[in-house]
Amino acid sequence: MPGKVLKSFKTRSGKNAILRYPKWEDLDDLTKYVNEISRENILVSFSGEQRSKKEEAEWLANLFKDMEDNRRVQVLCCVDKETAGRGTIGTKTTMSKKNQHVAIVGIMIRKKYRGDGIGMVVMKELIEQAKTFLRGIRLIELSVFESNKPAIKLYKELGFKEVGRIPKGLKHRGKYYDEVLMVLGI
C-alpha cells in the first residue's frame, strides 16, 4: 500500500499531479514540507513549530500502523516529485465508543500550489478513502480558523456545514480567532 498511486490529474494551471499514499522514501521531503509550512506561520494548527527528521519518522511510522489498522489514511499530492499537499483523515480517538462513527480530516497545501485546485482534489479523495477504509464512519468533522476564508469556501463547496464556533478558540500571532466547527455526513 505505501506509495500506491490513487489518481493522476491536472491542476488548474495545467501541472501534472498525482495522489498517492506516502512511503518511507518520502521522509526527507515530508520533513522539509511540514517545516516549510510551519515556518509560514499561517492559519493552520501546526504553525511556528519545527519537526526533526526523527520526529517525522516517528509520526510516519505511527501513520503506517494506523493505515494498516484502518484507523487513518493519508494522501499526498505530488507535482514534479515534490509534495504539493497532503491530507489526513482518521477515526476520532477518544475513550468513548460512542463517537467511533466520526472521523477528523485536515489538509495542508504548499504555498506555491495554493489556489491551483489541489485542496479540492485531496479532500474529495480523503472522503472516498474514509468510505472505503474507515469502517463505520458516518460523519466527518474539521475545524478551521474563522479568517481562513479560502478553506471555509472549499469545505462548503464539498458539502460541509458549519455547526458551531468556539469563540476565541484558536490563537495565532497573539490574536484570538473563533474556531469554526464543520461536519459532513457520509
pLDDT digits (tens, 9 = 90+) for 25-84: 999 999 999 898 888 866 666 666 788 999 999 999 999 999 999 999 999 999 988 999
Question: What CATH number corresponds to the domain at position 128?
Answer: 3.40.630.30
Q: What percent of the chain has pLDDT over 90?
A: 75
Q: What percent of the chain has pLDDT over 70?
A: 94
pLDDT band at 95 (very low <50, low <70, confident <90, very high): low
Contact of 137 with 147, CB cutoff 8 Å = no
Mean pLDDT of 97-108: 90
- Full residue range of the structural domain in which residue 119 is found: 5-185
* 160-175 exposure pattern, b = at least 16 Cβ within 10 A, e = fewer: beeeeeeeeebebeee
**Mean of per-residue pLDDT scores for the chain:** 91
Give the number of domains in the chain: 1
DSSP 25-86: GGHHHHHHHHHHHHHHT-SSSS-S----HHHHHHHHHHHHHHHHTTSEEEEEEEETTEEEEE
pTM of this prediction? 0.90
Higher per-residue confidence, 47 vs 92: 92
pLDDT digits (tens, 9 = 90+) for 150-172: 999 999 999 999 999 999 998 88
Mean pLDDT of 167-178: 90
Mean pLDDT of 116-135: 95
161 three-class SS: strand
Higher per-residue confidence, 50 vs 8: 8
Mean pLDDT of 17-28: 96
